[in-house]
C-alpha cells in the first residue's frame, strides 16, 4: 500500500499537507463511532481473523464516501433534505437491526468446541461493515467540509483524492484492527454463556446509542 501511495503521489501533495492530513486521519479513526462498535461487535462474536472482514467492509464504505465527495455528489447530499433524510433513516434502522441481532446473539461457553461458535460468512460481514459506513450521511458532509482543506487547487485533484483515500483507509484499517483485536481478547476472557450474554447486550446498547445519535443529526443549511 505504501508503494502504491508513492506512485500515485508523484508530488501531487506537499509533505507538510500530507502529514497534517495523516494526523487528522488518526484523530478521526480513533473517535468512537458506529464503525468502531461494528468492528468490536464482530471481534466479540467471531474472533479477530473472522471478525476483521467487517473492517474491510467499512473501508469499502469509506472509499465510496470519498468517491462521492470527489465526484461532487456530496454537495448534492449536503443541500438536499430528502437525500439526507433517506440515508439517515436507513442508517438508523440498520443500526437498530444490528442492535437486535447483537441482543439475540446466542452465547456459547468457551469450554465448548470452537466449531460450535457462530461463524460469520466473510461476504456478509463485509457487506455489514459497508452498510454501517455508507448509511451515515453526516460522514459524507463531514468529508465534504474536511477533505477540501487539504487540496492544492494547482495540482491534479484526482491524484490528491487518491492519496487521501489510501492514507485514510490505511490508518482506519490499523485502528479497526485494534478495536477488533481488543474485542477478540475480551471474547477469550468470557468463560460462560452468562458473561457473553451480558457483553452481547452491552454492545446492543451501544448500537442503539449510535442509532439514537444519528436520529439527532440535522442537516445544516449553508
Model confidence over 148-203: pLDDT tens digits?
778 777 788 888 889 999 999 999 999 999 999 988 887 777 656 777 788 778 87
The candidate with the shortest Cα–Cα distance to 13, out of 130, 136, 202, 153, is: 153
- Going from N- to C-terminal start, the domains of the chain cover 35-105+117-216
Q: What tens-digit pLDDT sequence spans the chain (222 residues)?
A: 555 555 445 566 778 888 888 988 898 888 777 888 889 888 888 889 888 999 999 999 999 989 888 887 656 666 677 777 777 788 788 888 888 887 887 765 544 444 444 556 889 899 999 998 888 776 777 787 778 778 777 788 888 889 999 999 999 999 999 999 988 887 777 656 777 788 778 878 888 887 887 777 666 554
Q: What is the dihedral of CA 75, 78, 81, 84, to 10 degrees?
A: 100
CA–CA distance, 197 with 42 (Å, rounded to integer): 15
CA–CA distance, 164 with 170 (Å, rounded to integer): 10
DSSP 121: -
Amino acid at each position: 500500500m505504501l508503494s502504491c501511495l508513492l506512485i500515485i503521489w508523484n508530488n501531487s501533495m506537499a509533505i507538510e499537507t500530507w502529514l497534517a492530513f495523516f494526523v487528522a486521519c488518526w484523530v478521526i479513526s480513533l473517535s468512537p463511532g458506529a464503525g468502531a462498535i461494528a468492528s468490536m461487535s464482530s471481534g466479540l462474536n467471531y474472533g479477530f481473523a473472522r471478525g476483521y472482514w467487517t473492517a474491510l467492509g467499512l473501508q469499502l464504505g469509506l472509499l465510496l464516501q470519498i468517491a462521492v465527495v470527489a465526484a461532487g455528489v456530496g454537495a448534492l447530499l449536503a443541500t438536499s433534505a430528502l437525500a439526507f433524510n433517506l440515508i439517515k433513516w436507513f442508517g438508523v434502522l440498520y443500526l437498530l437491526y444490528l442492535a437486535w441481532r447483537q441482543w439475540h446473539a446466542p452465547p456459547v461457553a468457551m469450554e465448548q468446541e470452537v466449531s460450535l461458535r457462530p461463524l460469520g460468512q466473510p461476504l456478509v460481514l463485509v457487506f455489514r461493515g459497508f452498510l454501517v459506513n455508507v448509511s451515515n450521511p453526516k460522514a459524507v458532509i463531514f468529508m465534504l467540509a474536511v477533505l477540501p482543506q487539504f487540496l492544492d487547487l494547482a495540482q491534479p485533484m484526482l491524484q490528491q483524492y487518491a492519496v487521501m483515500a489510501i492514507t485514510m483507509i490505511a490508518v482506519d484499517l490499523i485502528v479497526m484492527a485494534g478495536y477488533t483485536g481488543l474485542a477478540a481478547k475480551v471474547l477469550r476472557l468470557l468463560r460462560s454463556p452468562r458473561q457473553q450474554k451480558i457483553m452481547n447486550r452491552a454492545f446492543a446498547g451501544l448500537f442503539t446509542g449510535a442509532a439514537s445519535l444519528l436520529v439527532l443529526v440535522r442537516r445544516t443549511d449553508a
